[in-house]
Amino acid sequence: MKDIYIYLENGTFLKAKSFGAEGTEVGEIVFNTSMTGYQEIATDPSYAGQFVTFTAPEIGNVGVNENDNESTKVHCKGVFARAYNDDYSNFRGEKSFSELLKENGTLGICDIDTRYLTKMLRDSGAMMMIASTEIDNIEELKLLLDSSPRIEDINYIEQVSTTQSYIHKNGAWNMSTMSYNKAVMSDKKVVVVDFGVKRNILNELVEAGLEVEVVPSSFQAEDLIQRYESNEIGGIFLSNGPGDPLTLSNEKIEVQKLIEKNIPMFAICLGHQMLSIAHGHDTYKLKFGQHGGNHPVKNSKNVVEITAQNHNYNVPDSIANIAELTHINLFDNTIEGVKYKNKPIFSVQHHPEASPGPHESKYIFKEFADSIK
């Protein structure tokens, strides 16, 4: 393992070991509290532009495999691990985590105190950083970091969204057959606007009985409205994605056009935030975000669900003026879900597809399917 050097914008300078690709990368550092799922996290498009600090101490011990990818590649800038294990042991493992990172040009950083990093981010908030296997001079690293654009200045949606429309036919994972359930013919078709959609979200939409077509983030609202009015599609889903939603000015205009037509819509994470912005209620940035698989959320029936989270931005309390609050985060009382008044539109901030257990939120996909004619 080569040495790798890390400089954070608060002046912290660290040295560690590299187990991924070599090079120099700039991004925002966050921490994730999930105890499993490092492959799913690394391949989640919502992490584009970020370094992810794993709080689980042992990373790599089950390897990786094609079926657990949430997209076609690794999207984060790099990952931090307290201890990395290159020798994996899992009957489903196909290669090591370091091989996956190297194939995708992603930095892997280990032999570092991730508890120290997590506490720093908890106290100081998410921040920009630079990591390099090539540069060991603190002043040079600082100069490069200071001259690089911040994550909120970059439209990562353009990098992670599909460029061509396609049909998704896989349903939920079937452990008994070690494969995905295939879609059955459905007369309920929805369009997924891809801001960086996770594969398992598409799987759950199919599993709920929907025919799923995925379109680029550069969609034209007029096209979708025409297809809805001609009964070709019955609804629209706005996906998760990376970056600051306030930078998506063109997408905001298109979503506003969809809202005006009262088309049934469901959204998760960034899509949830886009609906809020399109309704005139701008999002705000959380101190260190919510990233993990153990967040308790109370729904409108006063039932507590355990949810997976991955977001740095949140919708404001003012959204309650135009929407019913359906989900609240019990860690910090932030808004986790809304249903807009007098409209067939609802959304959640958390990820109901992620299966954190034991009481989950997958029923939301069925509710969306039931709302589609």
User: What pLDDT digit, counting tens, does each position of 250-307 carry?
Assistant: 999 999 999 999 999 999 999 999 999 999 999 999 999 999 998 999 999 999 999 9
Q: Please give the biggest Cα pair distance in the chain.
A: 62
- 146-160 average pLDDT score: 96
User: What CATH number does the domain containing 196 carry?
Assistant: 3.40.50.880
Boundary residue ending a domain (119, 153, 187) = 153
167 and 147: one domain?
no
269 classed as catalytic: yes
51 and 98: one domain?
yes
Alpha carbon distances (Å) from 65 to 19, 93, 100, 241, 308: 18, 5, 9, 23, 21
Question: What is the structure's pLDDT at 232?
Answer: 96
Question: What is the structure's pLDDT at 359?
Answer: 67
178 pLDDT tier (thresholds 50, 70, 90):
confident
Identified catalytic residue from 28, 70, 336, 353 = 353
At 196-243, the pLDDT tens digits run: 999 999 999 999 999 999 999 999 999 999 999 999 999 999 999 999
Identified catalytic residue from 28, 269, 279, 281 = 269
Question: What is the structure's pLDDT at 172?
Answer: 81
168 classed as catalytic: no
95 and 193: one domain?
no
Q: How far apart are CA 261 and CA 250, in angstroms?
A: 18
Q: Domain range for residue 260?
A: 157-371
359 classed as catalytic: no
101 and 169: one domain?
no
Name which of 242, 183, 189, 188 is nearest 217 in CA terms. 242
Total domains, the chain: 2
Q: Report the 3 state secondary structure along 178-236.
A: CEEEECCCCCCEEEEECCCCCHHHHHHHHHCCCEEEEECCCCCHHHHHHHHHCCCCCEE
CA angle 184, 187, 190 (to 5 degrees): 95
Average pLDDT, the chain: 96
User: What CATH number does the domain containing 20 carry?
Assistant: 3.50.30.20
162 and 140: one domain?
no
182 and 126: one domain?
no
